[in-house]
């Protein structure tokens, strides 16, 4: 069964460092998303991506964040200068079209120290 | 704006007992409704979804949910809970198009012998 794959599963980084979280969406999907879940809190939307551009972003997704689909298969989330409060589980999701459900990856746990 | 309320933060049930997890949403049109389950350290797995049609939807692992428009609810049920059902359950609302999902804060289910 096709699945969304995220790497790494866990990343520890020092405050101020740049991190790139990687996702491989399901191959024929067209819509891509990043969500995050701070420990013990709800899942929050960060950004959606369609047709090689950001279609919507939340207030959380400030200038420190960027997304890219560099090669037609990977979908990356970059945090330029990490802060302690960026520590969270980051989920990538993809969906086939406008009327189907989103499939989530297993998540990347980011710990900023 | 869309919102999802899961009024129960934590529920404990005995193995074999029935289960109902509550979800209420606020949305202007007919929403797309979802239940996801998250086992410890795992990603989000779709249990079931409602887009249209029959208001009682069946999902995986013996779960079902009923959409009640008059009550703006989409409660999740299972007639007989198994110990492996212990997890965090998230209700989410969305719509067609590229709009992101809005999640509730989740309900943690504990199962006791």
* B90 contacts B76 by C-beta, under 8 angstroms: no
Query: Three-state SS for B101?
Result: coil
Alpha-carbon distance A41 to nearest alpha carbon in chain B (angstroms): 6
Tokens 């970059």 found at: A78
* A110 contacts A22 by C-beta, under 8 angstroms: no
Q: What is the pLDDT of residue B98?
A: 64
Partner-chain contact B98 A56, CB within 8 Å:
yes
Cβ contacts of B100 on chain A, cutoff 8 Å = 33, 35, 45, 48, 56, 58
When pLDDT is cut at 50, 70 and 90, the band that residue B29 belongs to is confident
Lowest mean pLDDT among A101-105, B17-21, B30-34, B47-51: B30-34
When pLDDT is cut at 50, 70 and 90, the band that residue B97 belongs to is low
Partners of A72 in beta bridges? none
Structure tokens of B101?
Answer: 């999902």
Partner-chain contact B46 A103, CB within 8 Å:
yes
Partner-chain contact B43 A45, CB within 8 Å:
no
A28-77: pLDDT as tens digits: 999 999 999 998 888 999 999 998 999 999 999 999 999 999 887 899 99
Partner-chain contact A104 B45, CB within 8 Å:
yes
**What is the C-alpha to C-alpha distance for residues B17 and B27, in angstroms, rounded to an integer?**
32
Asked if residue B71 has pLDDT above 70, the reply is yes
Contact of B102 with chain A, judged by CB distance below 8 Å, is answered with yes
């Amino acid at each position: 069964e096709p699945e969304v794959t995220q790497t790494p599963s866990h990343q520890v980084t020092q405050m101020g460092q740049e991190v790139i979280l990687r996702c491989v969406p399901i191959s024929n999907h067209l819509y891509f998303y990043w969500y995050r879940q701070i420990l013990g809190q709800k899942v929050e939307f960060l950004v959606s991506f369609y047709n090689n551009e950001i279609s919507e972003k939340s207030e959380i997704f400030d200038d420190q964040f960027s997304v890219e689909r560099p090669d037609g298969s990977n979908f990356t989330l970059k945090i330029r200068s990490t802060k302690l409060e960026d520590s969270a589980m980051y989920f990538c999701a993809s969906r086939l079209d406008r009327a189907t459900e989103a499939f989530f990856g297993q998540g990347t746990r980011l710990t900023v120290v | 704006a869309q919102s999802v309320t899961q009024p129960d933060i934590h529920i404990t049930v005995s193995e074999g007992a029935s289960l109902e997890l509550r979800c209420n949403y606020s949305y202007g049109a007919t929403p797309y409704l979802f239940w996801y389950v998250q086992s410890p350290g795992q990603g989000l797995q779709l249990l079931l979804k409602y887009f249209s049609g029959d208001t009682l939807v069946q999902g995986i692992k013996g779960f079902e949910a009923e959409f009640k428009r008059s009550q703006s609810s989409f409660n999740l049920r299972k007639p007989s809970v198994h110990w492996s059902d212990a997890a965090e359950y998230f209700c989410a609302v969305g719509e067609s198009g590229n709009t992101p999902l809005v999640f509730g804060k989740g309900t943690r289910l504990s199962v006791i012998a």
